[in-house]
Structure 1
Amino acid sequence: MSTDPRLTTTSYAVLGLLSVRSWSTYELAQQMDRSLGRIWPRAQSKLYEEPKKLVSLGLARSVSESVGRRPRTVYGITEAGRRALAAWLSEPGSGPVLESEQLLQIFFADSGTRSDTLATLRAARDWATERNQENLAAARAYLTGQGPFPERAAQTLLVGRFLTDYYRLVAEWADWATAIVRQWPYDPREAMADPRQQAETARRAEWPPGGVTGRG
C-alpha cells in the first residue's frame, strides 16, 4: 500500500535502491536486474521514468556527470525520500501474486496431450534450476563475506531464503507432477486422479498444524 497516491510500489522499490547508495541509470538497470528483477520485475520497465518522477517530487536528486566524453545522470535519495520510504515500510504490504503461464497450461492440460504437459513440467523445472543458479552464487558470496553489500546481509538473508525455498518448491513440485503425468493416458481427458494423492494434498493443506497462526 502506498502512503502517497502519486507513488507506486515500484516508486518505493527505486527509493529503496537509492537508500542503499547513489546510482547512475546504467547502474540502476544492472541492480534492478540482479536484485529487484527476481521479486519485483515491474521496476525494470520503469527504469527511466521512475527516478525522474522521484526527483520531481523532491524524493530524489539528480546530478549530471561526465565519464570521459559520455554524460551520465546519477540519482541519490533526499531526506524527504528517506522519510517517504520509512513511512511506506511502516505499513504491512500486500502478499505475493502468483502469475505462471506454465501453471495455467497445466490447469487446462485436458485440452492438449500428455506430451504437452510433460514438456511444460520440464520447462518449469528448468526455470527453477536456472533461476537458482544465480541465487546459489549470491548465497555463497554472502556466506564467504564477498556479497556486494555485506552491511545488508541480514536483510538479504531473509529474501534469499524465500527465493531458495520457492525455487526448490517449483522443482520438487515439477518432479512430483511429472511422475503422475507419466502414468496418464495419451489423452489427458481420460486421466483419473489418484485418491491417495488427493488425500495427501488435502492433508498438506491442513496448515498451519492445528490451525495455529505464527506470530512474531
Structure 2
Amino acid sequence: MSSTPALSTTSYAVLSLLALRPWSTYELTRQMDRSVGRMWPRAQSKLYEEPKKLVAHGLAEATAESTGRRARTVYAITDAGREALARWHREPGAGPVLEFEQLLKITFAEHGTTDDALATLTAARAWARAQNEENLAAARAYEADAGPFPERAAQTMLVGRFLTDYYRLVAEWADWATGVVADWPPDPGRAVAVPEEMRETARRADW
C-alpha cells in the first residue's frame, strides 16, 4: 500500500495554478488566497504541504533556487500533472457546501436576544460588502484589460458573476432579515412568523 497521501480537491486547485506558471510555495499560498480562497478556503499550513504531495505523485517537479542569500523551492507542473488535471476535469465535481456561522446563529436565535440577532445580521451584511469590494476591484480591472492572466478572462468572468450574485444575496438577505427581526420581542423565543413572509418564502422555493 502506498504511503503517499491521496490527492484531494485542494491538490487539484494547486495543480491548476501550476498549470498557469511555476510558483514558489509562498507565491502559491498567496495566489490561492487571492484567486481560489473565496470559493475553496484552506489553512496555509495545509497549502504548504500540497506541492510536496504533487511532487510525490509525479505531477509536479521542484527546483531549488537562490535569491541573494535566500533559498526557495519553485514548483512546476509535469506532463503527467497536465494529464491528471485533464482527467479531473472530466468529472462534474460536487456541489457547494455552505459554511456560514452567522446563519447558524440566526437558526438558533432563541438562545440569545433579539439584539444579538440584529448584531449578527449587521455583521453578515458588513461581510458581504467587504468581500464585494475586492470582487468589484477585480471586475473593474478585467473590464479595463488590467486583470492578471487576461487570457483567462472568459473563465474569470463566470466565477466573478457567481461571487457577485452570492455577495449580493447575503447582503439582501441580511437587509430583509433585519427588517423582520426588528419587529421581534426582546426574547426571540417569543417571536411569531409572519404569514405573508412564510408564503413568500414558499413562492420563492417553487422555482
TM range (shorter): over 0.9
**Cα displacement string for residues 121-178 of structure 1 (whole angstroms, at most 9, x for unaligned residues):** 0000001011111111100000000001100001111111110000000000000000
Provide the residue aligned with 1:126 in structure 2: 126
Provide the residue aligned with 1:211 in structure 2: none
**Which amino acid is 1:105 matched to?**
K
Provide the residue aligned with 2:49 in structure 1: 49
Matched, 1:32 2:58: no
Matched, 1:164 2:155: no
Deviation, structure 1 residue 45: 3.9
CA contact (8 A) 1:14 1:43 kept: no
Count of residue pairs the alignment pairs up: 203
CA contact (8 A) 2:22 2:77 kept: yes
**Which amino acid is 2:162 matched to?**
F
> TM-score, with normalisation over the residues of structure 1?
0.92
Deviation, structure 1 residue 21: 0.8
**Which amino acid is 1:151 matched to?**
E
Secondary structure in 1 aligned to 2:38? helix
CA contact (8 A) 1:11 1:50 kept: yes
Provide the residue aligned with 1:212 in structure 2: none
Provide the residue aligned with 1:18 in structure 2: 18
The CA distance in 1 between the partners of 2:57 and 2:146, in whole Å, is 36
Secondary structure in 2 aligned to 1:102? helix
**Cα displacement string for residues 1-39 of structure 1 (whole angstroms, at most 9, x for unaligned residues):** xxxx82110110110000011101121121011011111
The CA distance in 2 between the partners of 1:80 and 1:74, in whole Å, is 18
**Which amino acid is 1:137 matched to?**
A
Secondary structure in 1 aligned to 2:73? strand
CA contact (8 A) 1:110 1:188 kept: yes
Deviation, structure 1 residue 111: 1.2
Moved over 4 A (4+): none
Secondary structure in 2 aligned to 1:200? helix
The CA distance in 2 between the partners of 1:84 and 1:46, in whole Å, is 21
Matched, 1:8 2:8: yes
CA contact (8 A) 1:59 1:79 kept: yes
CA contact (8 A) 2:118 2:181 kept: yes
**Which amino acid is 2:16 matched to?**
G
- Map residues 1-216 of structure 1 onto 2, 5 A cutoff: 6-42=6-42, 44-207=44-207
Shifted more, 20-29 versus 172-181: the winner is: 20-29
The CA distance in 1 between the partners of 2:92 and 2:171, in whole Å, is 30
Which ranges of structure 1 fall in alignment gaps of 5 or more residues? 208-216
The CA distance in 2 between the partners of 1:43 and 1:82, in whole Å, is 25
Shifted more, 11-20 versus 44-53: the winner is: 44-53
CA contact (8 A) 1:62 1:73 kept: yes
Give identity over the alignment, percent.
Answer: 71
The CA distance in 2 between the partners of 1:112 and 1:43, in whole Å, is 30
CA contact (8 A) 2:29 2:48 kept: no
**Which amino acid is 2:203 matched to?**
R
CA RMSD of aligned residues (A): 1.1
Deviation, structure 1 residue 43: 6.5
Secondary structure in 1 aligned to 2:7? coil
Secondary structure in 1 aligned to 2:37? helix
CA contact (8 A) 1:32 1:44 kept: no
Secondary structure in 1 aligned to 2:184? coil
